Every structure is written in C-alpha cells, then in structure tokens.
A and B are shown apart, each in its own frame.
Chain A
Amino acid sequence: MTVQEKLAILSDAAKYDVSCSSSGSSRSNSGGTGNAAQSGICHSWTPDGRCVSLLKILFTNRCVYDCAYCVSRCSNDIPRTAFTVDEVVHLTMHFYRRNYIEGLFLSSAVERSPDYTMERLVRIVERLRTEQRFNGYIHLKSIPGANAELVRRAGLCCDRLSVNIELPSEDSLKKLAPQKTKTDILKPMAAIGAGIIESKTERKKHRSAPRFAPGGQSTQLIVGATPESDRKILTLSESLYQHYRLKRVYYSSYIPVNPMIGNAKPHLLREHRLYQADWLMRLYGFDSEEILPETAPFLDEQIDPKTAWALRHPERFPVDVNTAEYETLLRVPGIGFTSARRMVASRRIAALRLEDLPKFGVVMKRAQFFVECNGRTPLDKLKLPPASIRQIMLANRSHPIAPNQLELAF
C-alpha cells in the first residue's frame, strides 16, 4: 500500500479525536527544526470548520478491541493498515517545514496489546526528538492499560498527553466498550498528572530538570451515544479538572459511524452548550452546581448557560460597572474576560460611562439587562422580570434556534 493510501485511511480514522490544540508549550528551537508557540497556531480549516493544527493520524487501525462507537473496532470490515516508524517521521518533517502543521498528534488503535502499541508510539516520538531534533508540538494519545514506564518516557518527549475517558459513566463503558475498564483509563491519567506536578516542583529547584508534558493533559468523551444528562457530564468534567488537573475536557457529539446506537445526526447544539458551560467552569469561576442545579439535568438549548444563570439570579443584578469587582463583572452576560480586564484598567484613569461599554468589547445586546452606572441602566430604570428578558432576547436573535434543528435533514 502506498503512503498516500495509508494516509487517507489512517487520517480518516483519526479525525474523530477532537483535540486540535497546540498551545501551552513554549519549547524553543535549540538547533534543529521547529519550536512551539505558547498560544498555539491553527494552520488550516477543513470544510466542517474544524481547525487543522497538528498532523492527526493513527499509527495503525488494526484493533483488538470492539468498542461499539468506534469506526476502527475489530468487528468492522474496513481496510486495515499501519505506518512504519520511518513513514510517520518523514511525513511529519516534510509537512512541518512547509508550514502545513504545528506538530504531530499521534494516536493508535490497539494492535496485539496496549504495551506493544504504546512502545511503537514512544519510539516514533523519541526518534523525532533525538534523531531529527524536532522541537515542534507533539501530542500523544496514551493507550489505556499501557505500562507506567512507557508513559513516563512518552511524557519526557511530548508536549501534551491524553487518555480518552470515552464515555461519561462506568455503566456506559461496560455496555459499549466492554474490554476497557475505568481503572485502565484513570490509572495512566493519575500517573501523567503526578509526572507533571513532579516535574514542575523539580524545575522550581533547578531549571535544568526535564519537562514532563509541559502542555498538560487532556481527555475526550462522547456525548449522545449513551443517556447521561448534561449535569452528570459537567460534574464529571469538574472533578477531572479538580482532581486530575486536566487542561481540557473535549466533548464529541456522537457521530453514528456504526449503526445500532445513538441518534442519526450529531447533536451539535448540545455539544456547543456543553463547551460554553465548560468555559464557565474553567475560566469564569463558576462551579457545575451553579450552572446546572439539581432540578435541571440538561442545559437550556435556547439560551447560553451564563445568561441562564443570570436569569435565575435576578437578586444579583444590575451590577454597577464602576464599583463591581473583576470577578463580579465576569459573571455578567455579555462581558468576557477581555472586556472585564479592559474595564478594570480603564476605570483607574476615568470613570466609565454606559456609552463607553461597547468600546471595551461588551456585547450590549446581552449586557444591557444586567448593568448599571451611577444608578442609570441602559434601559432607563426599567426593571424587567427574568421571563420578559428571556423573551426579548429570543425575539431579537438574528438566527432563531429551532429545538434540535441540527438533527433535521439538510
């Protein structure tokens, strides 16, 4: 089989891995090829609007597992192939120097055993780092159940490691991926987390201590293949952020690659709302309990989770833009961290006026219901009940959202 054909098969199978990030590492170029940009760089976008940052490929799609949601499961009748170590190294280097990619995202199906596969993956990244002196970004998918020494070796050459948690609960895992266990997934996750913390403390003592996955660790779970509620998913993510110090949890709306489970179309709106909620937890200081109280198992599809929270808490608004703390400003719908930071910096020089707010990047369409300035509100003291605000917001939307519209036929 030619490299062309292998690439077509093995990148097609890898595309369901969502992570595209190349950020969080600032590896410099010490006489070789490449460096990593702290912010990450997107290099292209495919017609589905997802960015291409890394060369995302499977090493092989020959798999011993039979997970119901996976296109490469062993019971599927599809062409099987594997790259050689050389082929992956050359593809990466050729693509990188032409600026097609920011680095390599290497994953694999499980051929023979987790250790056998993981050993090959580690060999590829070690060769890139030592023989080719490649300093670009490398994200390695750690194989569940692989031995700890291999994971340690991987962490020393990669910028990011990830283990997919796959499904939001153990029951679902048992049902759809019976050969994988929760321990297989959580054990390497904990090991990677410990490695990162250890390397960080060591580097505080002496700067030459080796870095371990400086871009952190991430994971991915499939939404919509199993019946878990949004509340359950967000609580899970929250505990992953808190206990395993993950950088990111990615949500992948289930795409029915195999008949038998799930919806006919991916539910993109649900995925979008989950990401919004995830952002609120990671960057805006919300906890999952605030976003989804016990009475509401699912996120409101019609309205974003921050506005939904604000409408449930009318007693907290309006917020005075000149006196409110940064953290309080962050909780106002229509104000993000860039605009909040600008407002805090600017009001040290001169008091803010309501008409200045759009200049800071505040989205008045949402913020107008929730801010005030010296006792004045943009709506002139018209105190609207939450239900009316909701109605106005839905009516003013430029693209009305029909419930589950993305499930309709195109």
Chain B
Amino acid sequence: MPQYLHDGSFDGLLCAVSAALQNGTVDDIVPEEQRQALLFCEEICIKTDEAVAREIAGRIRNEISKQAFRHIMYTHLSELPNLGKAVFNYISEGLHRGASIDHWHADPSVRAVHEACRKTTHEIHRLKGLLRFRELADGTLWAPVEPDHQVIIPLALHFRKRLSEEQGIIHDVKRGIAVEWKNGSVRYVDPPVIPEISLAGNEQEIQQLWQTYHRAGTIQERINPRLQKQFMPLRYWKWLTETVKPES
C-alpha cells in the first residue's frame, strides 16, 4: 500500500486524498516534511493542483456536507500530526454515507477528525476573547499571539466583522506570520518587527486602566488561581495586557 506525500498545504492534502481515492488503497497521507522512509512502502509524491483540490472540495461539500468540509479544514488547521489517514477514511466513508457520517461518533477516524476540529474551534473561540490589541502610532490595532493551532485567519474574519471600521493585524509570533484586515478584506502580510513597533500616545494609559480594572474585580475571599489557570492557561499570559507590565 502506498504512502502519499503532499506539500503540507490544505490544497496539497486534498490532492493527495483525491489521488488516494482513485487508487483505492492507502497506507498513510503525510506532509513531506514529516516523511519517514519506510522499508516496504511505496511512496507517491503528489503535486498540488488547484483544479483537482477544488473539484474534491466541491464533492465533499455537495456529497457529504458543508459541515464536513469545515471539519476537514479545521483538522488541517490544527496542525496535529498523524491525521492524514483519519481524514482520508473520513472523506471516503463520507462520500459513501453522506451527511450522516458526522453521526457516527463511535468510529475512530470520525472521532479523530471531530476531536482535532474541536481543538481548533475551541482555541478560536478562546482567542476571540484572549486576543489583546495594542493601538500603534498610525492607528492600526496590533495583536501578537502564540496559538497552538493555525487560527489567525478565522480570528481575522471575526474581527473584520466586529471592528469593521478599524484596521488591524493579528500576528502569530510563534509561526512568524501575520494577517491583516482592512476595508473588508483579509490578507496575509509581512509580520511587523516587534522591537521597531511604536505605540499610540494614550496606549499605555489605557493599558493601566485595564490593569486597574482587572485587579479591582477580584474578590479576595474567593481567591482560586488554579481555577483561573484552568480557563486561561499560562501559555497565553505572555501577550495579555492584564498579566504583563505596561509596554513602553
């Protein structure tokens, strides 16, 4: 059974799935960078072809469901390893059974896809709250963040609607990428260089107000830092305004 290699993009993944579906058998589907040479396994490198990706994406939307397509996309954005085979099983079984595939909670592949999708969705929801914008000297809002999964595009879509009259940059410091929303459109931009960033004049004052508010809102009699960390894990604290000293 062959192992399919793709370039790691979402289109690449879809092309590999498409090739595997035609072939009928598959050992695994992995991005090239995670490739491990196997002794008794044929390797097939798949070239990414946008037309092929679009065709299979259309089939997934029409023959399974739009929701299933979203599950696959979010599974990809989760960047969790070893999910290629589960995604393949989910799609091939889904093309067979239709939308009811999402009800088959006991199946290991369906569960793996749902689980990865849930992790991404959960982080998106969490960061819709935990993202903190700083106003830059030119009025742009800038939010640095280090998420577990690749979530800045869905986040930018959220803020494009919410703060439609502003423009802002969401900066994934961990992956070195950034997206910008501006006048209703969202696109990738070069990430700003952090030491060169200059903040707006009143930014520090507002940050202090927020810290004051956060301190005053604590009820000492109920103090429970474990509970706080359960909801707001420490790995996010680095970029939160209320947990760092004011930036200069």
Q: Could you list which residues of chain A lie within 8 angstroms of chain B, going by C-beta atoms? A: 3-4, 7-9, 11-12, 15-16, 28-29, 31-35, 37, 39, 41-53, 55-56, 91, 94-95, 97-100, 102, 255, 265-266, 268, 342, 345-346, 348-350, 352-353, 356, 359-360
Contact = CB atoms under 8 A, between A and B. Distances in A.
Given A44-B242, A359-B105, A95 B224 contact: no
A94 B213 CA distance: 13
Chain A contact surface mostly:
loop
A348 B105 CA distance: 11
A346 B104 CA distance: 5
B106 A48 contact: no
B129 interface: yes
Contact of B214 (A4, A31, A52, A255): A52
B216 A12 contact: yes
Given A34-B162, A359-B111, A44 B103 contact: no
A350 B104 CA distance: 8
Interface string B203-233: 0001011101111111111111111101110
Interface string B81-106: 00000000000000000001001111
B134 to A, nearest CB: 7
A342 B111 CA distance: 12
Contact of B208 (A4, A97, A266, A349): A4
A9 B217 CA distance: 10
B228 A47 contact: yes
Given A345-B103, A350-B106, A55 B213 contact: yes
B125 interface: yes
Contact of A255 (B131, B132, B222, B227): B222
B141 interface: yes
Contacts of B186: none
B157 interface: no
B224 A49 contact: yes
Nearest to B158: A37
Contacts of A56: 217
B181 to A, nearest CB: 13
Nearest to A342: B105
Max chain A Cβ within 10 angstroms of own Cβ: one of B106, B141, B214: B106
A49 B227 contact: yes
Contacts of B232: 44-45
A95 B100 contact: no
Contacts of A53: 129
28 contacts: A8-B212, A12-B216, A12-B217, A34-B163, A41-B128, A41-B129, A44-B130, A45-B227, A47-B228, A48-B218, A48-B228, A49-B227, A49-B231, A52-B214, A55-B213, A56-B217, A97-B135, A98-B132, A98-B141, A98-B241, A99-B132, A99-B143, A346-B104, A346-B106, A349-B100, A359-B106, A359-B111, A360-B106
B177 to A, nearest CB: 19
Contact of B222 (A4, A266, A352): A266
A100 B131 CA distance: 8
A39 B231 CA distance: 16
Question: 4 closest A-B pairs (Cβ-Cβ)?
Answer: A49-B227, A345-B103, A48-B222, A49-B224
A316 to B, nearest CB: 26
Contact of B133 (A46, A51, A97, A255): A97
A52 B217 CA distance: 8
Max chain A Cβ within 10 angstroms of own Cβ: one of B125, B228, B241: B228
Contacts of B141: 97-98
Contacts of B217: 11-12, 15, 46, 50, 52, 56
A45 B243 CA distance: 11
B198 to A, nearest CB: 17
A255 B219 contact: yes
